[in-house]
Amino acid sequence: MKTPTTTPPDPPFKSGHIAIVGRPNVGKSTLLNALIGQKLSISARRPQTTRHSILGIRTTDRAQMLFVDTPGQHLKTPRALNRYMNRTATAALHDVDAVVLVADRLKWNAEDAMVLRQVKATAKPCLVALNKIDRLTDPALLLPHIQDLAAQLPQAEFVPLSALRKTNLDRLLALLEDRLPAGPPLYAAEQITDRSLRFLAAEIVREKIMRQLGEEVPYAATVHIERYQKKGNLTQIHALILVERSGQKSILIGAGGTRLKQIGSDARRDLERLTGGKVMLKLWAKVRANWSDDDRALRHLGYR
């Protein structure tokens, strides 16, 4: 007589928060966008592009991963905005179930070491993503670097990857899923973030400023959405760009307003992809001296 077979139970659904941390310009935002399969966090070649924590949601039939993209942490904090960014990144480490520490290939400096110490102090499950391996001339050089870091983070798992080329992301996702606790999803399956369209619109405009302008102006600029109104297939957006000096305003606007028009044109294309309809975008530039070193001004502008 045959023994009846039983179907093993399905593994429990998993859900949890994962902080993506690292020093500036290691590719954290590019990694977040690659993991959720959609552009959510703005990116540029400049360090300190990300100023806020941004939640990116990836939902499958087995798990819901809640990725928290954080500002790059830096040692020098001369202004209130810099201190806000460091506090935001540090706070994200305390309320997550796992951490992804992103580093740039073989590059390692004092800011990387600072973030590593913070991650180690949390005792959270940690994966180290060695990003931008597509730029490595000799992959064999990774092994001694990994061995050195493993001596400092003995419980961590190391994943060489390329966020830009989407190389080895499946390995990272599988390891993260193993480390998440069992639990129900916290957001609807189709939701990719908890941020509003108004917030995302401001970030898109700021990204175009970062990509269009030189060294000084992008760091002195912030974007405040004064009007966001959707009527049918048309979204009207009025965005105020604040800078700290009149010379920066002149650079931002450009001769005959050409540069501001180009920023608006580039932003409009991304906004129409985001909203799925037509966008009427109007931009203004205004000087507000010292806004980036004024805690009250920062709170008014949404830096909370």
In the prediction, which pLDDT does 251 show? 95
Residue 123 shares a structural domain with residue 201: no
Q: What is the pLDDT of residues 184-216, one digit of tens each?
A: 999 999 999 999 999 999 999 999 999 988 777
Do 69 and 162 fall within a single domain?
yes
pLDDT in tens, 56-68: 999 999 999 999 9
In a domain, 185, yes or no: no
Total domains, the chain: 2
- Whole-model pTM: value is 0.92
Residue 123 domain-assigned (yes or no): yes
Task: Give the mean pLDDT of the chain.
Answer: 94
Q: Which of 146, 179, 212 is the last residue of a domain?
A: 179
Do residues 103 and 147 share a domain?
Answer: yes
Do the beta carbons of residue 73 and residue 111 sit within 8 Å?
yes
Four-CA torsion 267, 271, 277, 280, nearest 10 degrees? -50
Rounded-to-integer distance, Cα 122 and Cα 105, Å: 24
Contact 176, 127 (CB under 8 A): yes
Is 191 among the domain residues? no
pLDDT confidence of residue 4: 60
* Contact indicator for 224, 242 with CB cutoff of 8 Å: yes
Calculate mean pLDDT across residues 141-160: 95
Based on the fold, state whether residues 24 and 133 are members of the same structural domain.
yes
- Residue 218: band (very low, low, confident or very high) from pLDDT cuts 50, 70, 90: confident
Report how far residue 124's alpha carbon sits from residue 126's, in angstroms, rounded to the nearest whole number.
Answer: 6
Give me the CATH number covering residue 86: 3.40.50.300
Residues 114 and 214 in one domain: no
Are 94 and 231 contained in the same domain?
no
Residue 304: per-residue pLDDT: 81
Check pLDDT > 80 for residue 3. no
Evaluate whether residue 163 is within a structural domain.
yes
Domain termination site, one of 123, 145, 179: 179
Whether 148 and 201 map to the same domain: the answer is: no
Does residue 189 form part of some domain? no
In a shared domain, residues 24 and 96: yes
What is the average per-residue pLDDT within 93-105? 95
DSSP state of 262: H
Is the pLDDT confidence value at 9 over 80?
Answer: no
Question: What DSSP designation does 54 have?
Answer: E
- Residue 220 and residue 96: Cα distance in Å, rounded? 32
* Nearest alpha-carbon partner for 36 in 195, 220, 232, 213: 195
Residue 1 lies in a domain: no
Over residues 220-224, mean pLDDT: 95
Q: At residue 8, does pLDDT exceed 80? A: no
The predicted-structure confidence for 252-303, as pLDDT tens digits, reads as follows 999 999 999 999 999 999 999 999 999 999 999 999 999 999 999 999 999 9
Q: Are 174 and 28 in the same domain?
A: yes
Q: Are residues 235 and 293 in the same domain?
A: yes
Range of the domain at 236: 197-300
Domain-located, residue 235: yes
Give the CATH number for residue 236: 3.30.300.20
pLDDT value for 76: 86
| 127 plus 173 within the same structural domain | yes
Residues 288 and 261 in one domain: yes
Q: At what angle do helices 246-253 and 258-275 cross, to 10 degrees?
A: 70
Domain end (from 179, 210, 232): 179
Residue 99 located in a structural domain: yes
